[in-house]
Amino acid sequence: MQITALTGGIGGARFLRGLREHLQARSDDWSGAEITVIGNTADDITLFGLRVCPDLDTVMYTLGGGIHEEQGWGRADETFSVSAELAAYEVPPDWFTLGDRDFATHIVRTQMLRAGWSLTDVTAALCDRWRPGMRLLPMSDDPVETHVVVTGDDGSRQAVHFQEWWVREQARRPALEFVFLGAAEAQPTADVLDAIRGADVVLLPPSNPVVSIGAILQVDGIGDALRATAAPVVGVSPIIGGKPVRGMADACLSAIGVETSAAGVAGHYGARIAGGLLDGWLVADEDTSIAGPPGVVQRSRPLLMTTPGEAADLAGAALSLALELRG
Ligand code: GDP
Ligand code: CA
């Protein structure tokens, strides 16, 4: 049994940790299911000469037990000596938090990339330490970076790196457009396409539909593979009662003209029978009354993942809807 999931950072990572826990508690064939995760790399950024992959690291640290739980990203028990020294040298940027433990990950990754390893192989090597219990694949070995087009002080259109807009500006300037630099030339890896084609079930966790899952879908061939796979595709809404649970997904959705609602996101992904992605869709109990796209089987249930147990229940519900749709 093969489960393939697409993921961004926090929402996806918590869901995947729940999925692992849910599978461990099962006593049927699915308890031994292999999970392959296709991670968003369009949030990646080079800082101080180091390649930082925030979403891959959030997934790796969460599943490997190294995450700062309350914050949802970064390492637990972190210290910031290196950042303080860089600030003393007045070397920018000072708006992206990198702790000492986290720095080590980026140093190892950058060293391996410079030695010619692919990001897929580097990620596997980092995961040898963290043992996430699933295979973590970057969406592509080619660099893709999301940039956000905003209006500058002089009224002109300016593009800034997604992290600068998200972290430094807290998405305060309205996004006019997202540009996924490199996406048009980027190729999905053979591992990514095989994971989609060979899946028994495909899950879309509650990740940001625009800059996490949406960025993965920008890579040529991934959307087509999803639309063509024999596996049912089940998604989980990141929006509850018209609001994102964490983060500023509403600022991303409005930029692409999608309503911030469970139905808006489902409509954005589209029904597979109408050329979209979804066969099934989980919404929060408070969103039960809003109909999803025709042809998508919609169920409601609690969608908050405050505890690992809640995440396991949610992942179990997504899997059971998928199994029902497999018939
Ligand atoms: P990021 O890369 O760290 O921004 O993380 P993701 O793209 O994986 O997830 C961000 C999305 O997860 C946001 O749109 C949130 O609304 C959603 N999210 C976070 N926590 C929860 C939760 O407990 N339940 C649900 N349903 N969605 C969540
Ligand atoms: Ca992210």
Q: Where residue 306 sits, what CATH number does that domain have?
A: 3.40.50.10680
Domain span at residue 224 reads 2-68+107-141+184-244+260-326
Q: What is the pLDDT of residue 132?
A: 98
Which uninterrupted H or E stretch holds 14? helix 10-25
Give percent of the chain above pLDDT 90. 98
- Quick check: bond before 93 cis, omega within 30? yes
Instruction: Please tell me the predicted confidence (pLDDT) of residue 233.
Output: 98
295, HSE (Cβ side, Cα atoms, 13 Å): 13
Residues contacting ligand 1 via CB (< 6 Å):
7-12, 55, 58, 206-208, 212, 236-238, 240, 244-247, 249, 303-305
Q: Is 100 part of any domain?
A: no
Q: Which ligand is nearest to the CA of 37?
A: 1
Please compute the mean of the pLDDT values over residues 257-283 and round it to a whole number.
Answer: 97
308 in a domain, yes or no? yes
| Mean pLDDT along residues 240-247 | 93
> What's the rounded Cα separation, in Å, for the pair 181 and 199?
29
Would you say residue 158 lies in a domain? no
Look at residue 303 and tell me whether its pLDDT is greater than 90. Answer: yes
User: What's the number of domains the chain is made of?
Assistant: 1
Compute the distance from residue 12 Cα to the ligand 1 centre, in Å: 7
Question: Which pLDDT value is given to residue 327?
Answer: 78
* Phi, psi of 170, rounded to the nearest 5 degrees: 50, 35
Burial of 76 (C-beta count, 10 Å sphere; 0-12/13-18/19+): middle
Report whether pLDDT(204) > 90: yes
Angle (deg, nearest 10), helices 54-64 and 119-130: 20
Residue 254 lies in a domain: no
Q: Are strands 233-236 and 239-240 parallel, antiparallel or unpaired?
A: unpaired
CA of 117 to the centre of ligand 1 (A): 30
Q: Of 1, 8, 84, whose CA–CA distance to 41 is shortest? A: 8
Q: Name every residue whose Cβ is closer than 8 Å to that of residue 130 and which is 6 or more positions away in sequence.
A: 60, 61, 63, 64, 65, 66
Pick from 28, 8, 7: nearest CA to 316: 28
With respect to residue 93, please indicate whether it lies within any of the assigned structural domains.
no
277: in domain = yes
Residue 27 belongs to some domain of the structure:
yes
Q: Is residue 121 part of a domain?
A: yes
Task: Give the ligand at the shortest distance from the Cα of 241.
Answer: 1
> Residue range 19-44: average pLDDT?
97
Ligand 2 centroid, distance to 40 Cα (angstroms): 7
